Amino acid sequence: MTYYLEVRNLSKRFGDFTALRDVSLDVVEGEFVCFLGPSGCGKTTLLRSIAGLDPQTSGTISQKGRDISALPPAQRDFGIVFQSYALFPNLSVTDNVGYGLVNRRQNKGAIAKRVAELLALVGLPDAGPKYPAQLSGGQQQRVALARALATSPGLLLLDEPLSALDARVRLRLRHEIKALQRTLGVTTIMVTHDQEEALTMADRIVVMNHGVIEQVGTPQEIYRRPATAFVADFVGSMNFMAGTLVAPDRVKVAGVDFACPPQEGLAPGQKVSLCIRPEDVRVRDLPANIANRVPVEVAELDFVGAFCRATLKAQAAADVAVTADFSSNLIRDLGVEIGTKLDIALPPDRLRVFA
Ligand code: ATP
Which residue's alpha carbon is at the smallest distance from atom 25 of ligand 1? 14
Which residue's alpha carbon is at the smallest distance from atom 19 of ligand 1? 40
Yes or no: say if 244 and 252 are a contact pair by the CB < 8 Å rule: yes
Residues 6+ away with beta carbon under 8 Å from 203: 31, 32, 33, 218
Helix, strand and coil percent figures for the chain, each rounded to 5: 30, 35, 40
324-351 pLDDT, tens digit each: 999 888 888 888 899 999 999 999 999 9
**Quick one: pLDDT band at residue 109, thresholds 50, 70, 90?**
confident
Ligand 1 closest atom vs CA 193: 2
247-283 pLDDT, tens digit each: 999 999 988 899 999 998 888 899 999 999 999 999 9
pLDDT of residue 272: 96
The Cα–Cα gap between 310 and 278 comes to: 9
Ligand 1 closest atom vs CA 20: 14
The Cα–Cα gap between 315 and 343 comes to: 10
pLDDT of residue 104: 72
39 CA distance to ligand 1 middle (Å) = 8
Q: One-letter amino acid identity for 146?
A: A
**Quick one: pLDDT band at residue 135, thresholds 50, 70, 90?**
very high
The Cα–Cα gap between 56 and 171 comes to: 33
Whether domain 5-231 has CATH 3.30.1490.20: the reply is: no
* Residues near ligand 1 (Cβ within 6 A): 14, 17, 19, 37, 39-45, 193
What residues does each domain of the chain span?
5-231, 237-354
82 CA distance to ligand 1 middle (Å) = 15
- The architecture that CATH gives domain 237-354 is Beta Barrel (2.40)
Please provide residue 291's backbone torsions phi and psi, each rounded to the nearest 5 degrees. Answer: -75, 155
**What SS3 state is found at 335?**
coil
For residue 155, which of 67, 266, 25, 51 has the smallest C-alpha distance?
51
pLDDT of residue 184: 92
Summarize the confidence of residues 1-25 as an average pLDDT: 94
pLDDT of residue 329: 85
pLDDT at 18 over 80: yes
Query: In testing the pocket of ligand 1, which one of 18, 43, 163 has its CB within 8 Å of the most ligand atoms?
Result: 43
Query: In testing the pocket of ligand 1, which one of 41, 190, 230 has its CB within 8 Å of the most ligand atoms?
Result: 41
pLDDT of residue 304: 84
pLDDT of residue 165: 84
Q: What is the ipTM of this complex?
A: 0.91
Summarize the confidence of residues 279-288 as an average pLDDT: 92
Q: Average pLDDT of the chain?
A: 93
